[in-house]
Structure 1
């Protein structure tokens, strides 16, 4: 079965937003959990705004360099419960364990 780039890109964004919401909220954590390349993770986080998902980086208290975590502030029109309910299918499309 062939999956379109549009569908896989959409599902990747949903999956990354879900993971951030579940506490896997740093690029290194996403890389370790999913095995995706760093650039893919960074680009996916950046592109969440295309879906009206508001994702903000929260710098750790008292840190001067860029340490902290991402937080989903707003889901826009996306139903995060649908993502949770369909996680197995989403991961299958993305070929993630």
Structure 2
């Protein structure tokens, strides 16, 4: 497949944003086992790839809420879904 682990992380986060109920950084940390900073970096990089995200504010604190994937941009959501295990393998081996 030829994916590098950085790109694979971005694909996997997109998949989680679309398939998890109200994904926020603490929930993504539990699901992935990645540190907060890694997740923040991945989320920050997605708009540069053409992926459109929205942060849905909930609660009174500034960062209470969750992320919603609005547009996959150039990414093929079906391909990511079909190749999720291979993407995960790339991440764990990278």
* Shorter-chain TM-score above 0.5: yes
Partner deviation per Cα, 1:48-67 (whole Å, 9 max, x = no partner): 0121000111101xx22121
Matched, 1:50 2:67: no
Taking the aligned partners of 1:58 and 1:72, their CA distance within structure 2 comes to 10
Structure 1 CA distance for aligned equivalents of residues 34 and 49 of structure 2: 20
Report SS of the residue matched to 1:64.
coil
Mapped partners of 2:40, 2:83: distance in 1: 24
2:87 aligns with 90
- What CA RMSD, in Å, does the superposition of the two structures yield over aligned residues? 1.7
Number of residue pairs matched? Answer: 90
| TM-score (ref. length: structure 1) | 0.86
Q: Which runs of 5+ in 2 are unaligned?
A: none
The answer for the alignment partner of 2:69 in structure 1 is 72
Separation (CA, whole Å) in 2 of partners of 1:70 and 1:12: 16
Runs of 4+ in 1 over 4 A off after TM superposition: none
CA deviation string 1:40-88 (max 9, x = no partner): 001101110121000111101xx22121100001111111110010001
Gaps of 5+ in 1: none
In structure 1, distance between residues paired with 2:84 and 2:53: 20
